[in-house]
């Protein structure tokens, strides 16, 4: 039984293939077309997934699309009458959705009737919930999708048991924790899609101020009819104008329209910050309050969810589930003892969720798969890597290139990191989701406080307030962090133990936390070996890990890794079994 999940015409377009209940491949379209958060139809992602599964489009039994135009039809019609332009936009998307079969046929150059698969529509949040529960290790769990907006709802909760999910409640448009965060993010002068995560980093530099205002901007829902919250709509515009999301440059990068009203400025003490204006302490404090209020509401919802379900485990998805700072507080502030966050908790993950919704919920098949690693994307052969090197400037001289057996490769790579150099680390299959987890990573020495500034200046060109993340040997987590619960997908932030903070200053955020990746030998043997070797050489079982890119989607092919290495000031690159260094060999590749 072969199921193709497709997230199309929506940010983070993606595809996934599930064969007989096992995930075979999952990837975002942005990795191929090189447009961050790309929307549109994910033809290349589908092509890759089918190739990885060794099947043709004609052999697919089911196609699952995570959108149901008929969900919350009453609410949609109510707003369509009030917002005709918004209704027109949605109608256009609907037309595209009804043409998924045709789009697939066109992409694969076959007649639509040659596609034998049954097509399914799965409601957005049910696909989110399925993406986390059906691939989690839990037999029973509480489920929460905390999100911006999808199928006219922002959040949904339920319970999962065996191969069934039961939906209990949802919060409908216009009330949305994700849109709340986006609106205040815009007010603070960060206007790009995805900038919410920058503001989450900024929040650690402030002290919450005007909390009473934020408690009006997002209010706990008093009627008990939902488990959550409502927005103080005076501070927003999206309920009047529609949540405008357009796709710049012909259906590519998503762009959000302005969502906050003049009232927000009045209540928060001044006009919105323009992107080019300097960041002041007031902005940091407002970011801290934004985050603090999110945590109050999010953790409050989780407490209610725990009380209603009596579950000890919770599965999280939706864009808000990427708030690793809030997630890290779940263990102390809710009764939940176990947490699973899908590595692609945002809308990319809908492709996997929709496919598993069909397999488990619709076809009632038993669960046999746990997503315990995130390496579901493309891999390139040694020959392909060699060809990419031969075709690049690396072959023109001035670089030291060595093919090394694994122990030697690890020894030299770890010593390069320990010498304070920046190392590109490219191995195996690409990660699913927005985090680099040791296959498409840039790694550096966590012991050096200056590494953050060096990485930013030489390679990443990011705002200085954004933290870098640590990868730690899973078995050492409790020695270095105040929590030891696994965080394999970098979706939880824990406090670094106070006595360890000055040992790993580079990936320790200003508030003493780290958005850690716990690395097991089973999930990624080579990355585990690298960190183990770094520990052997330095006594520290941690490396700084940031994604292998420079303001672009994470590199996918070896050509892109080489290109990023060559155009930035990275010192060395490990590409499969090859070590490439840009300076005179002995100075970089010391033989420790």
- Where do contacts with Fe ion occur on this chain (CB under 5 A)? 147, 150, 347
Considering beta carbons, is residue 349 or 467 the nearer one to Fe ion?
A: 349
CB of 347 to Fe ion, least distance (A): 5
383: β partners? none
Q: How far is the CB of 154 from Fe ion (least distance, A)?
A: 9
Of residues 150 and 446, the one with the C-beta less far from Fe ion = 150
CB of 112 vs Fe ion, minimal distance in Å: 28
Which of residues 347 and 571 has its CB atom nearest to Fe ion in the complex? Answer: 347
β-bridge partners, 315: 143, 340
DSSP string, 40-91: S--HHHHHHHHHHHT--GGG--EEEES--TTTTHHHHHHHHHH-HHHHHHHH
Judged by beta carbon, residue 349 or residue 438, the one nearer Fe ion is: 349
Q: What is the DSSP string of 478-546?
A: HHHBS--S--TTS-EEEEBPGGGTTTS-TTS-TTSEEEEEEE-TTT-HHHHHHHHHHHHHHS--EEEEE
Shorter beta-carbon distance to Fe ion: residue 138 or 322: 322
- Rounded to a whole number of angstroms, the minimum distance from the CB of residue 565 to Fe ion is 34
Angstrom distances, CA of residue 35 to CA of 11, 46, 244, 551? 11, 16, 20, 10
- Of 149, 193, 188, 189, the C-alpha closest to 172 is 149
In this complex, which beta carbon is closest to Fe ion, that of residue 28 or of residue 147?
A: 147
Between residues 150 and 488, which has the closer beta carbon with respect to Fe ion?
150
φ, ψ of residue 543 to 5 degrees: the values are: -125, 155
Q: Which is closer to Fe ion, CB of 150 or CB of 201?
A: 150
CA distance 501 to 413: 24
Shortest Å, Cβ 323 to Fe ion:
14
Q: Which is nearer to Fe ion, 172 or 519 (CB)?
A: 172
Q: From its phi and psi, is residue 433 left (phi > 0), alpha (psi between -120 and 50) or beta?
A: left
CB of 422 to Fe ion, least distance (A): 34
Q: What is the Cα–Cα distance from 84 to 90, expressed in whole angstroms? A: 10
Question: What's the rounded Cα separation, in Å, for the pair 176 and 105?
Answer: 36
**E strand residue ranges, 210-281:** 218-220, 229-231, 245-247, 254-256
User: Per DSSP, what are the bridge partners of residue 23?
Assistant: 18
Specify the residue, 147 or 533, whose C-beta has the smaller distance to Fe ion.
147
SS (H, E, C) 109-154: CCCHHHCCCEEEECCHHHHHHHHHHCCCCCCEEEEEEEEEEECCEE
How many CB atoms neighbour CB 332 within 10 A?
Answer: 9
Q: How far is the CB of 143 from Fe ion (least distance, A)?
A: 14
Three-class secondary structure assignment of 163-197 = CEEEEEEEEECCCCHHHHHHHHHHHCCCCCCCCHH
Nearer to Fe ion, 7 or 471 (CB): 7
Cα 13 to its chain centre, rounded Å, is: 13
- CB 321 → Fe ion: shortest distance, Å? 10
Question: 513, 494 in Cβ contact below 8 A?
Answer: yes
d(CA 35, CA 16): 19
Closest CB 150 distance from Fe ion, rounded Å: 4
**Least distance to Fe ion from the beta carbon of 509, Å?**
26
Q: Least distance in Å: CB of 570 to Fe ion?
A: 34
Q: Residue 82 corresponds to which tokens in the numbers above?
A: 């009030």
């Amino acid at each position: 039984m072969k199921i193709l999940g497709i997230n199309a015409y929506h940010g983070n377009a993606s595809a996934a293939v599930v064969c007989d209940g096992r995930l075979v491949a999952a990837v975002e379209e942005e990795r191929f077309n090189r447009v961050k958060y790309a929307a549109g139809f994910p033809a290349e992602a589908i092509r890759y997934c089918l190739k990885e599964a060794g099947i043709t489009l004609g052999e697919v039994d089911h196609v699952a699309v995570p959108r149901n135009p008929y969900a919350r039809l009453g609410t949609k019609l109510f707003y369509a009458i009030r917002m005709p332009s918004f209704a027109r936009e949605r109608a256009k998307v609907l037309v595209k959705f009804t043409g998924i079969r045709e789009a697939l046929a066109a992409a694969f150059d076959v007649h639509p009737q040659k596609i034998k698969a049954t097509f399914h529509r799965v409601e957005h949040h049910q696909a989110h919930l399925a993406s986390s529960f059906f691939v989690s290790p839990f037999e029973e769990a509480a489920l929460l999708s905390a999100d911006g907006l999808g199928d006219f709802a922002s959040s949904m909760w339920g319970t999962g048991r065996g191969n069934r999910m039961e939906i209990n409640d949802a919060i409908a448009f216009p009330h949305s924790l994700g849109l709340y965060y986006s609106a205040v993010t815009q007010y603070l002068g960060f206007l790009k899609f995805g900038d919410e995560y920058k503001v989450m980093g900024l929040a650690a530099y402030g002290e919450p101020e005007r909390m009473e205002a934020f408690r009006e901007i997002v209010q706990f829902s008093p009627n008990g009819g939902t488990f959550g919250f409502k927005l103080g709509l005076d501070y927003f515009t999206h309920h009047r104008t529609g949540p405008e999301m357009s796709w710049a440059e012909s259906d590519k990068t998503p762009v959000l329209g302005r969502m906050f009203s003049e009232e927000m400025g009045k209540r928060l003490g001044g006009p919105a910050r323009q992107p080019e204006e300097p960041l002041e302490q007031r902005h940091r404090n407002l970011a801290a309050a934004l985050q603090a209020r999110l945590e109050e509401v999010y953790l409050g919802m989780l407490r209610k969810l725990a009380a209603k379900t009596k579950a000890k485990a919770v599965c999280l998805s939706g864009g808000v589930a990427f708030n690793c700072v809030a997630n890290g507080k779940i263990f102390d502030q809710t009764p939940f003892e176990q947490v699973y966050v899908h590595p692609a908790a945002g809308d990319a993950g809908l492709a996997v969720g929709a496919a598993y919704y069909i397999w488990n919920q619709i076809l009632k098949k038993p669960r046999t798969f746990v997503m315990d690693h995130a390496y579901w994307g493309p891999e390139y052969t040694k020959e392909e890597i060699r060809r990419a090197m031969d075709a690049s400037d690396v072959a023109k001289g001035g670089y030291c290139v060595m093919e090394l057996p694994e122990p030697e490769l690890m020894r030299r790579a770890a010593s390069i990191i320990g010498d304070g150099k920046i190392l590109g680390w490219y191995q195996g299959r690409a990660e699913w989701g927005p985090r680099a987890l040791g296959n498409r990573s840039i790694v550096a020495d966590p012991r050096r406080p200056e590494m953050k500034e060096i990485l930013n200046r030489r390679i990443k060109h990011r705002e200085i307030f954004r933290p870098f993340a640590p990868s730690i040997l899973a078995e050492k987590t409790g020695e270095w962090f105040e929590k030891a619960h696994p965080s394999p997908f970098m979706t939880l932030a824990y406090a670094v133990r106070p006595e360890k903070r000055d040992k790993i200053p580079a990936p320790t955020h200003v508030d003493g936390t780290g958005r850690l990746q716990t690395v097991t030998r089973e999930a990624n043997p080579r990355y585990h070996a690298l960190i183990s070797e770094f520990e052997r050489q330095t006594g520290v079982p941690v490396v700084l890990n940031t994604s292998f890119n420079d303001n672009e989607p994470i590199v996918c092919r070896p050509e892109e890794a080489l290109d990023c290495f060559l155009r930035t000031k990275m010192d060395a690159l490990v590409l499969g079994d090859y070590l490439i260094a840009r300076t005179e060999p002995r100075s970089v590749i010391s033989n420790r």
